[in-house]
């Protein structure tokens, strides 16, 4: 099953939350994919980071880890992001099933400006961003002292409950998008040709492409490639599996191909990525 979100009503909620707090609010689906935000445009600081392949991948991993932690702890969390900012996240539950997440993003506390900026410089040093441009964008971010952030986090939890109570999110069983998501996720380690996916979904090539384009904004092969590299990046930083073992787990049989695609998507080799971000087991 998957969740259906009433985006029109949700957008009103996000806009009102922004007007009250001045903080950008994001809705993730159950897979940790950004589906709605207000304001829609990323702040300049995050645009600078996401314009680098390494920064884009780190942002995705950071969001996914935050979603996983919020699901495990079943409550709102305040945590530091990979780029030195503060964020808050809470699960959205329908019938006790986590169907998505609400996130407050891009926050600077401002309690010790010099120390916080030094931390940002340290964490972002590997992205190759000009310090003056990064500092200028950093200064534009809202300053939110911890008591106000804590209050905003409490409101975030109440908003997540309201989403359920006001039926802005509901469970939908067996939609084509849910079936495709589940099939790709469960069979990621296998050889997934277009023919096999079409057969499993009961769709022709044109219908499969249209469904993938609607769901992901790209073709199914392109999305599958991205999904595999995201999973590989997660395994590189959270396990001690060899690169060959990771290839098997993400369904890529040719290591040279894996090496090329990983470097193209992240900007670094698998070895360099592991060396930089590995957290051990």
What is the assigned CATH class of domain 2-172? alpha beta
- 179-200: per-residue pLDDT in tens? 888 899 889 999 999 999 999 9
If residue 191 lies in a helix (H) or strand (E), which one and from where to where? Answer: none
CATH superfamily assigned to domain 176-277: Homeodomain-like (1.10.10.60)
Contact 167, 226 (CB under 8 A): no
Element (H, E) at 30: none
- The total of other beta-carbon atoms located within 10 Å of residue 78's CB is 16
Phi, psi for 168 (deg, rounded to 5): -80, -15
Mean pLDDT rounded to a whole number for the chain: 89
Give this prediction's pTM. Answer: 0.65
Check: CB of residue 99 under 8 Å from CB of residue 171. Answer: yes
Sequence-ordered strand ranges (E) for the chain: 2-5, 24-29, 34-38, 77-80, 86-94, 97-107, 169-172
**Chain segment 99-112, per-residue pLDDT in tens:** 899 999 999 999 99
Structure confidence by residue, pLDDT tens digits, 19-33: 999 999 999 988 788
Which residues, in sequence order, are CB contacts of 138 under 8 Å at separation 6+? 45, 108, 117, 120
- pLDDT at residue 217 is higher than 80: no
Confidence of residue 51 (pLDDT cuts 50, 70, 90): very high
CA nearest to 181, candidates 145, 220, 151, 153: 220
Give the domain ranges of the chain. Answer: 2-172, 176-277
H/E element holding 188? none
Q: What is the per-residue pLDDT for 131?
A: 94
Q: What does the block give as tokens for 130?
A: 């000009």
CA distances (Å), origin 279, targets 57, 81, 175, 274: 16, 15, 37, 9
Query: For residues 70, 68, 100 and 174, what is the CA-based torsion angle, rounded to 10 degrees?
Result: -140
Q: Is the pLDDT of residue 175 over 80?
A: no
Q: Which of these, 17, 11, 227, 234, lies nearest to 105 by C-alpha position?
A: 17
Token pair of 94 as six digits: 């329908």
Which residues, 6 or more positions from 163, have their beta carbon under 8 angstroms from its beta carbon? 10, 13, 92, 102, 169
- Distances in whole angstroms, Cα of residue 181 to Cα of each of 6, 109, 143: 20, 37, 38
Report the C-alpha gap between 247 and 156 in whole angstroms.
39
Alpha helices per DSSP H over 74-124: 113-123
User: Do 2-172 and 176-277 fold alike per CATH?
Assistant: no
pLDDT digits (tens, 9 = 90+) for 67-84: 988 988 888 999 999 999
Which structure tokens are listed for 96? 């006790």
């Amino acid at each position: 099953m998957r969740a259906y979100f009433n985006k029109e009503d949700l957008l009103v909620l996000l806009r009102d939350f922004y007007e009250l707090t001045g903080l950008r609010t994001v809705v993730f689906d159950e897979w940790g994919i950004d589906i709605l935000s207000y304001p829609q445009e990323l702040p300049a600081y995050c645009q600078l980071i996401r314009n680098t392949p390494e920064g884009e991948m780190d942002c995705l991993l950071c969001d996914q880890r935050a979603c996983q932690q919020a699901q495990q702890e079943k409550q709102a969390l305040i945590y530091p992001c990979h780029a030195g900012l503060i964020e808050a996240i809470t699960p959205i539950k329908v019938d006790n099933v986590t169907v998505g997440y609400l996130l407050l993003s891009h926050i600077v506390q401002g309690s010790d400006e010099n120390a916080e900026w030094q931390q940002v410089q340290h964490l972002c040093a590997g992205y190759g961003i000009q310090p003056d441009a990064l500092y200028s964008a950093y200064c534009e971010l809202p300053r939110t002292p911890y008591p106000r952030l804590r209050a905003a986090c409490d409101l975030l939890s109440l908003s997540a409950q309201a989403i359920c109570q006001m039926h802005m999110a509901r469970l939908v069983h067996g939609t084509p998008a849910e079936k495709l998501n589940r099939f790709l996720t469960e069979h990621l380690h296998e050889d997934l040709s277009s023919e096999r996916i079409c057969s499993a979904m009961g769709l022709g090539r044109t219908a499969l492409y249209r469904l993938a384009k609607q769901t992901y904004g790209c073709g199914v092969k392109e999305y599958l490639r991205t999904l595999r590299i995201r999973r590989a990046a997660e395994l590189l930083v959270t396990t001690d599996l060899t690169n060959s073992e990771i290839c098997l787990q993400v369904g890529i049989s040719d290591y040279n191909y894996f090496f090329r695609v990983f470097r193209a998507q992240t900007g670094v080799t698998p070895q360099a990525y592991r060396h930089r971000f590995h957290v051990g087991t």
